[in-house]
Amino acid sequence: MSDVYRVSQDWARHAHVDAEKYAALYDAAASDPTGFWLDQAQRLDWIVPPTVADQSSFDEADFGVRWFADGRLNVAANCLDRHLASRGNDVALIWEPDAPEEEPKRFTYLELFQHVCRFANVLKAEGVAKGDRVTIYMPMIPEAAFAVLACARIGAIHSVVFGGFSPDALAGRIEDCDSRLVVTADCGRRGGKTIPLKANVDAAAERAPSLKRVIVVKATGADVPMTGRDVWYHEAAAQVSADCPAEPMDAEDPLFILYTSGSTGKPKGVLHSSGGYLLWASLTHHWCFDYRPGDVWWCAADIGWVTGHSYILYGPLANGATTLMYEGLPNWPDASRIWQVVDRHKVHTIFTAPTALRALMKEGDAFVAKTDRSSLKLLGTVGEPINPEAWRWYNDVVGEGRCPIVDTWWQTETGGAMIAPMPGATDLKPGSATKPLPGVHPQLVDETGKVLDGAVSGNLCITRSWPGQMRTVWGDHARFFQTYFTTYPGKYFTGDGCRRDEDGYYWITGRVDDVINVSGHRMGTAEVESALVLHAKVAEAAVVGMPHDVKGQGIYAYVTLNAGEAASEELRAELRQWVRTEIGPIATPDAIQFAPGLPKTRSGKIMRRILRKIAEGDVSSLGDTSTLADPSVVDDLVANRVG
């Protein structure tokens, strides 16, 4: 039996949603979905309010995801303009620099609005128009937020690429969506280190012929060579006015593309809409985190990931929140840093990943205890299953038992939280994301697609659309259908395994496909394999996940060398570096095992099940190896396991 943490009376009394309202929301969503969603949609400011809600279908014949299709709005106006009259002088964005001795910056809603309008005019002056794709490759500085919201203001589609990705990975993403323009900075800073963003863009440009213009924000003042393709942001900004009307958009017009790893092929450009996405980001921020004006909200993600999109920018700003953006790392200069930032800005809610908590937990409680943290009232987590030990540490040591833990399960594809508690209404169980939010319809199925009822484990599907659902894979609608709707026809398949307990609580057990979750970041095993086989000495590679104390999962690579090549420690180091350069540091293999052969079926399919077991060190239960073309390769793999 797992522990149950009851909602405190204090929370239940003061929350936006208490147990009674929670039940009413569920009933309304179930009994009259159209009325429910049109009603919820009123939390946005529409130029033309929608009269239709869900028009989606998961069936092949009339497949598509569509919400609020006759509504018109502008996302940036919802995040900025509509707050000006009531809270123009309230702080919208707090920026905390990498180095603790530097001064933070604060922007009121009015100031943020002015910066965004000016940035939007710079983009327009460069010829960017509605529907054009703009790639944003930035450090965590305020200008990253300006650039994102500027795109939304003029109806350009932003594609934010995480600043830790390599020039190659960046080039692939620029080309895939045919971006003409990249916004970057001279350099970025993180944990005292410098990241050569502009130099990376220059390298990417050689492989990305669509790229014609680079807007460079002066962030660190590093000396970077400028070419005819480049313009300094501050110079361009001085030439334009700060007055920029917001472009009216259809609810279904695209807002952004965000590349994410899948089980096959190159990363997919997940496309999100304007109306449905913004509603979901805003509503889930309101429901799950019980935000109220004056609270300081801190989502400690990077804007290069969906969590940063939905919960640093769109959700909180749509709700008129004060959102904190932090340039650095949670544990630099030391493991107190994250809590010192909480104290410095009197943060009410912090939303972070289990991997960060595990890393901090390892350093000992003293780093936490010496900080005050009395401003905290809620603690959130996202990105991967949280182990009960980390959950309890977060609850007992960080929150001192005062702060509910809101564990949110969701995906880049879902736009916002899907299975998560509401702090005034949901009892908590450490390690469970609890229950689906109103209007979310999860279902567990077995391998054959049979629906499983009651307390059971299975593969997690969602049977009906929700407003924040992705609309397509950029440039490949067939791949969207194929990836998510064909494994279990008529349902959206999440790729996650999940257990439902006797109380109807959901416990995500992790990916059941060839995606691994490294420090809360998704990495496709196929991507790492493609990078490895590009190396001249590598014949074949197979990559699987392995358990890792801090990262949750680590990357374990089996590598077969070309005939005549010898395995060595130098080559191992070279291959690790190779993958870092090809994809980025987050893809660096934790273990590389040189193998004379890989376990394959007679039809040539690699038996990953066996490779996973060996990487996990679970060699006593390799299961049936009789279908292997050459069962003896397994003996060698077991004997030479790394770690």
Q: Are strands 188-190 and 181-185 parallel, antiparallel or unpaired?
A: unpaired
Q: Which two tokens stand for residue 224?
A: 């970077």
Length of the chain: 643
**Closest CB 517 distance from ligand 6R9, rounded Å:** 5
Q: Least distance from C-beta 431 to ligand 6R9, angstroms?
A: 9
Give 117 or 473: the residue with its C-beta nearer to ligand 6R9.
Answer: 473
CA angle at 163 for the pair 158 and 167, rounded to the nearest 5°: 95
Residue with smaller CB distance to ligand 6R9, 320 or 416 = 416
> Of the two residues 306 and 526, which places its CB atom closer to ligand 6R9 in the complex?
306
- Which distant-in-sequence residues (6+ apart) come within 8 Å of 451 by Cβ? 443, 444, 445
Where in 389-528 does DSSP place strands (E)? 405-408, 442-445, 451-452, 456-462, 472-473, 492-500, 506-511, 515-518, 521-524
- Bridge partners of residue 101, in order along the sequence: none
- Is residue 190 part of an annotated ligand binding site? yes
Q: CA-CA distances (angstroms) from residue 149 to 159, 321, 414, 468, 480?
A: 12, 15, 20, 18, 26
Is residue 209 marked as binding? no
Query: Which is closer to ligand 6R9, CB of 179 or CB of 260?
Result: 260
Whether the CB-CB separation of 280 and 466 falls below 8 Å is answered with yes
Identity of the amino acid at 343: D
CB-nearer residue toward ligand 6R9: 50 or 163: 163
Specify the residue, 73 or 508, whose C-beta has the smaller distance to ligand 6R9.
508
Q: Which DSSP helix (H) or strand (E) runs through 106?
A: strand 105-108
Closest distance to ligand 6R9 from the beta carbon of 550 (Å): 16
Closest contact distance (angstroms) between CB of 114 and ligand 6R9 is 31
Nearest Cα to Cα of residue 478 among 3, 60, 167 = 60
Is position 40 annotated in a ligand binding site? no
Residue 507 assigned ligand-binding role: no
Cβ closer to ligand 6R9: 81 or 513? Answer: 513
Instruction: Give 3-state DSSP helix, strand, coil % of the chain, rounded to 5.
Output: 35, 25, 40
Task: Using the minimum distance from each CB to ligand 6R9, give the nearer residue, 136 or 633.
Answer: 136
> Toward ligand 6R9, which CB reaches closer, 137 or 410?
410
CA 74 – CA 154 distance, rounded (Å): 9
Q: Is 179 a known ligand-binding residue?
A: no
Task: Using only the alpha carbons of the chain, give its radius of gyration.
Answer: 24
Please state the closest distance from residue 417 (CB atom) to ligand 6R9, in A.
Answer: 8
Does residue 519 have a known ligand-binding role?
Answer: yes
User: Is the Cβ of residue 198 or residue 272 nearer to ligand 6R9 in the bound state?
Assistant: 272
Q: Which is nearer to ligand 6R9, 509 or 562 (CB)?
A: 509
DSSP assigned state of 48: B
Q: Tell me the closest approach of the beta carbon of residue 382 to ligand 6R9, in angstroms.
A: 5
Is 307 one of the annotated binding-site residues?
Answer: yes
* Residues in contact with ligand 6R9 by the rule CB under 6 A: 260, 305-307, 382-385, 407-412, 433, 494-496, 508, 510-511, 517, 522
DSSP code at position 57 = B
Least spacing, CB of residue 633 vs ligand 6R9, in Å: 30
Cβ contact 278:75 at 8 Å: yes
572 in a known ligand binding site: no
- Binding site annotation covers 410? yes
Q: Is residue 511 a known part of a binding site?
A: yes
CB of 615 to ligand 6R9, least distance (A): 18
Report the alpha-carbon distance of residue 304 to residue 317 in Å, rounded.
Answer: 17
**For the chain, how far is it from start to end, CA to CA, in angstroms?**
33
Spatial neighbors of 252 by CB under 8 A, at least 6 apart, are 66, 67, 68, 69, 273, 274, 275, 276, 471
| Shortest reach from residue 467's CB to ligand 6R9, in Å | 16
Q: In the complex, what is the shortest distance from the CB of residue 316 to ligand 6R9, in angstroms, rounded to a whole number?
A: 16
Q: Provide, rounded to whole angstroms, the least separation between the CB of residue 483 and ligand 6R9.
A: 13
Return the amino acid letter for 582: E
Residues in Cβ contact with 458 at an 8 Å cutoff, skipping those fewer than 6 apart: 444, 445, 446, 452, 497, 498
Q: Residue positions in the annotated binding site for CoA?
A: 190-193, 307, 331, 519, 580
Q: Residue positions in the annotated binding site for Mg(2+)?
A: 533, 535, 538
Q: Residue positions in the annotated binding site for ATP?
A: 383-385, 407-412, 496, 511, 522
